[in-house]
Structure 1
Amino acid sequence: MLETMLRQRPELSPEQIRDLIDEKKRKVGAGYLTDQGALFLVAADLGISFDNVPKVQAGLKDIYVGAKDVTVTGRIMNIYPVHTFTKRDSNEQAATRTIVVYDKDARVKVKLWDKQVNLPDEMGLQAGDIIKIIKGYVRSGLDGKPVINLGSYSAIETVRGDDPAIPSIDSLNSTIDTITGPQDSAVITGTISANPRLSEFVNARGEASKSLQMQVSNDAGTRTLRAVIWNVDETRLPKVFKTGAKVRMIGVKVKQGNPQYGNGDFEIHGDEGTILQFSNSQEDVEVMPLRIVSVGEETGRGSFLCLAADRAGRTFVLTVDNSLASSDQLSAGAMIECVPSRIFGNSVVLSKDDSYIRVTDDDASFPKLTKFEKKIKDIQVSQDPCIVEAIVLQVPETADVTTKMGETVPVTSTLLGDDTGEIRLVGWRNQSASVNKLSVGDRVRLAGVTTGAGREGKAELTLRPYSSVTRLS
């Protein structure tokens, strides 16, 4: 290529071209251009054509913004779902889809448009497949990094057999112990060490979405990292996965954690393209017999919360659709049978589409509610829910508290007592109102409360959305 440039522009010396290459790399930004990539841009500035120069097969590290007719080979790490949007200039509907590919040197996004978005499904592509991308063109992504786009003359071909020069996904696997710094497009395996949960949020496109949040630990349980998969597709999750299950996350980022929200260790973040592989998971949900411990509040989304226990005394938080049962039909101590839609750790979802619930006769093999009852002197800091009967000793006090997330919420507290001691009761957010309704001298039964460390490190009771407060006569 240098020889071609010198033939077409004999007034230039190799040293001058070298200077032009360095200047182009400085202007574009470090890390985005190889010398060859910069040479293409310099040639374009000088009006020099390489049409008659034999093309060299490039690796992913060699692509650069502005390149055309790019042909590269890579292994698929992630295939994102189709995203539709409205074009600003024409108000027309358009569709796009992203594939992440990698080789031994780099990882690059490949953008499919309109009719091409169905190619991964039509070709049966999946993570680990090696593909050849033919005649793509390169544009800058939102982060400034090069993205290969497929135009009308572009194509994707599958490569038969394996290429030992491109690392397998298994060979990229990291464990919780080996994470020492930020990473992109990482493959990480760990053990789910705390109850996973789904949370609702509004994503950057203004759409209602959900995130899967987990605590993932090493085998010894000595190191735990927070993991969040944003814009998660529930249909791609197993119906059942519990604490202790192994999970492999393919295509995630490792970021430095914020000490304000956790222990300051690294955090794992994924998105809708992240592949989750679970061990010890099952697709078929069996009938669950349970005893109701408490009936809590409405969620505001057509369902209400309950706390229930299985035969071994393990507790589960139930989200019950109002079409399956009402909160009046279920009462503390009642036996039920249910087929859940999903079980995430100790969170059980009963939706109207694929669940049922019915009240059954009492089963003596199940623990009675007395198993959860505690006197105040026996209460210790624990997330295990309990049942407490006590008398309200103080007028409830309410204060506005700013959380770590910057949210201002009401918090109401009061003092309870029984014949063994006294303890503080606290209600946050919606539960604040339940505490505020109490009066001095009320005898109450609290079901499904947990115990945390409060003032001066002393244990205090906390109402949960699944807790119930009953005045006793």
Structure 2
Amino acid sequence: MPAPVFRAGHLWLQKTVDFPADDHLRCWGSLFPKNIYKPRRTVLSGLEVEMNFEQMVQRILESSGLSRDEVMSRIRAKQEELGGFVTLEGAANIVARELGIVFERREPETRSLRIEDLLPGMSKVELLARVVRVQEPREFQRPGGKPGQVGSMVLQDSTGEIRLVLWDEKAEILKQGGLKKGDIVRVQGAYVRQGLDRKPELSLGARGSIVLCPDHPLAEELPPLSRSGMKIAELSPQMIEVDVAGRVVTTSEVRSFDRPDGTTGKVATLILMDGTGQVRVSLWDEWAELAKELNRGEVVMLENAVVKAGPAGGLELSLGSGGRLVRNPPGISDLPELRERPLKIAEVEPDMRSLDLAARVRRVLPLREFKRSDGSTGRVLSVVLADDTGALRASFWDHAAELAQKLRANDVVLLRNAYTRSGLGGRPEIHAGRATQVEINPPGVEVAGPQPQPLKIKDLEPNLEAVEVVGRIVELSGWREFTRPDGSRGKVASLVLGDDSGTVRVSLWQEHAEKAERMKVGDVVRLVDAYTTLGAFGQTELHLGRQGQLELNPAL
């Protein structure tokens, strides 16, 4: 005889279950024993009976006039007649009906499913939960060439978390401004399947829906969203993922790169500021493209950004496919207006579209003219700038070049709305064009200069500033005069300096060149505040200019 079918329709889940012939039935994460005499709620023909077996027997005794032995005999006989596939409660219900007795029933108490109740295979699921993560949709091509999109969110209630996947038009709600972290939503018409991580995962069916329910009567039963919104100054290496709101200081152009697996990736840089500090953010792939649209001073919220160690022991953030960037999010009112704090040189990166920088002038190189492709004449002047975090080259173009001709060594220069490009060896170079504002020695702007760093000769590399080197003269040539492109006269002397790690060619300029007359091979020389360049044959060369110091045979 086929097993009777029981339909459970009281957990917002319409699912037909065939009872197995073994001793237990697994249903929604619970084990229902077949023959138990303790009080419990019995499901019969889709309605709940608020009686246990003993209460059912007592009711039959009161209404039928039969003895207890007769009632129990009929119940056992009915159970045997149905091949043992019915519980004692079910057999008692059938016997009662045959005697014209109807147990009191009431409409079932409807209870929303909880996340811990969900198992693969369930359908028509309804769930109330809080959004704790949103992954915006990404587009893809189906095998037949038809475009599609898929996004997801992570939902949470008091029993756990589950991922909800949304496809095509259903995924539109995940786009900018649709849903945000912390929202309370009611999911209807979802089904459960096993995800790639072998955990239950929700998907929204064709007739399913998801709606905001901030005032739902059961909303207060949901756990509050754990605090993840951080101030920039509160970031620490122990953190993994954080939410941070701030204003856009500057962004870089998008750069493409090849991954080891052969795919092409994209990355852009964002500098974010709040009332406590600034932080560098790496935006990857689809978020990198968004950097093109961000405006200076715009408020953004980063969700689930990854905290990483940055250069010089600092911290930075990384936003990839597991995170989200929300533009102009509501409810962010504690951010100050964009502060006019110029960047440090160590914060400058290639391909920044706009930045402010304050630095000290180290060297001013000669102005040069060039012909553009349209036949017009352009001018450019290069200046080496430095602060206490590093040094870089700045190129001043056309009108900015005229202003830069007024610069002298050790001047403070403030650049507003400059931009950067990738220079020699991938190092950033600053460019000041027609939109750049150049201020020389502006009041109230203090810039610390670089501190000399003692180095072995083997550790020298091009484009270093404030270098200190001690070595013995290996070769020496006298000083000579030369004529600069602008017609002025200069002096230079050359020597080769060596230590226990290697040798390097040194050029002594101006007054330092004349000191070569008092030197001889074998003398020990200390050069302080020197700088390095790339030589004609790819070698590193050391230079000592007006700002540098030369000590002959110093006490070591």
TM-score (norm. length: structure 2): 0.44
Larger Rg: 2
Using CA pairs under 8 Å that are at least 6 residues apart, name the structure with larger relative contact order, 1 or 2. Answer: 1
* TM-score when normalising by structure 1: 0.50
